[in-house]
Amino acid sequence: MSNKKAVIALGGNAITLPDVEDTITNQFVNTRLALKGVLSLVAEGYQMVITHGNGPQVGNALLRVEAAVGKAPVIPLGICVADTEGGMGYMIEQSLLNVMYDAGIVRDVVTLVTQALVDRNDPAIANPTKYVGQFYSQEQAERFREKRGWVMKKDGERGWRRVVASPMPIGLVGAEIIRKLVDDNVIVIAAGGGGVPVYTDEHGWLEGIDAVIDKDLVSAVVAKNIGADTLLILTGVDQVAINFNKPNQENIDVAHLDEIRELFEAGHFPVGSMGPKIRAAMKCIEEGGQQAIITSFDYAAEAVAGSAGTRIIA
């Protein structure tokens, strides 16, 4: 086997496509399609961890919780994240085993529901900014503020939504196990949806927190943990660009860390879209990674080979 190591971060839309009915059957179809590019890296012998987003799925989980109020116990956000980690990990694991079988590749694959460590004093916890769940009227938003203590903010013209904290991940519970499995050539699916956020209390116990962690940022933590050469972020665009969707748009083929940091600080990568991916890419390089690559699912193999996508290097 190769000793090349990679973390492959699948965007949430790898499984749920915006304009396709979100049935489980369709989620399986989308997952198999998204894994075609990953399969070529498996065939090359990469040791790897696969992470994934869960935005659409955890939104659906919260909707089911709302629909069941008064009929079933309310499930907190942290458990919804853990539930979607397990369910989506199952889909990715089974789909990858099936496409590997068709390709004649035999390797073990395992899914780990992962707890991601955060600092309980992270300023982000006191300043919730991440929208989750459904849209509500202003009247409903006021009721949720009063009865459940939710922080509610208006999200464009569609209404009000719950916002939760998005703290910075600083470590992983079970990090050593993930590293050992990868070194044993097991393909590990971990830190799905950013992992379940937890902190260590004054007694040394782990405690969950109703928050969400950015999937790309936790992927950089995973990359450092396993000593990955490459962080591959698969998303909805083929390349990173400045002046995106404007007449003067410029796609980026290769950028050094200092160059991409300068563009980031100049505001070229919005918080709600490319910003977290660029932050994760910079974090990966700063902590010893050789390259961070951002591209679409269709060009995963070509991007790692250097002929597609955007590469960020030291």
| 243 falls within a domain | yes
The pLDDT tens digits of the residues spanning 173-182 come to: 999 999 999 9
Q: Which of 5, 130, 224, 283 is catalytic?
A: 130
Task: Classify each residue of 262-289 as buried b or exposed e, where b means 16 or more C-beta atoms within 10 Å of its C-beta.
Answer: eebeeebbeeeebbbbbbbbbbbbeeeb
Is 13 annotated as catalytic? yes
| 250 falls within a domain | yes
Q: Which domain holds residue 203?
A: 5-115+175-313
Is 277 annotated as catalytic? yes
Q: How far is it, in rounded angstroms, from Cα 307 to Cα 299?
A: 9
Residue 219 φ/ψ, nearest 5 degrees: -65, -35
User: Which residues does the chain have with pLDDT short of 70?
Assistant: 1-2, 13-14
Q: Which of 5, 11, 13, 37 is catalytic?
A: 13
| 141 falls within a domain | no
First to last CA, the chain: 26
Report pLDDT for 133.
86
The residue with tokens 């991916």 is: 277
| 150 falls within a domain | no
Report pLDDT for 21.
81
Q: Which of 11, 12, 133, 195 is catalytic?
A: 12
Report pLDDT for 254.
96
Q: Which of 53, 54, 55, 215 is catalytic?
A: 215
Q: Tell me the pTM.
A: 0.93
Q: List the beta bridge partners of residue 228.
A: none
| 142 falls within a domain | no
Q: Which of 277, 283, 289, 309 is catalytic?
A: 277
Helix, strand, or coil here: 213?
coil
Is 283 annotated as catalytic? no
Report pLDDT for 14.
67
Q: Domain of 307: which CATH number?
A: 3.40.1160.10
| 139 falls within a domain | no
| 94 falls within a domain | yes
Q: How far is it, in rounded angstroms, from Cα 219 to Cα 188?
A: 12
| 196 falls within a domain | yes
As for how many domains the chain has, the answer is 1
Report pLDDT for 22.
78
Report pLDDT for 13.
67
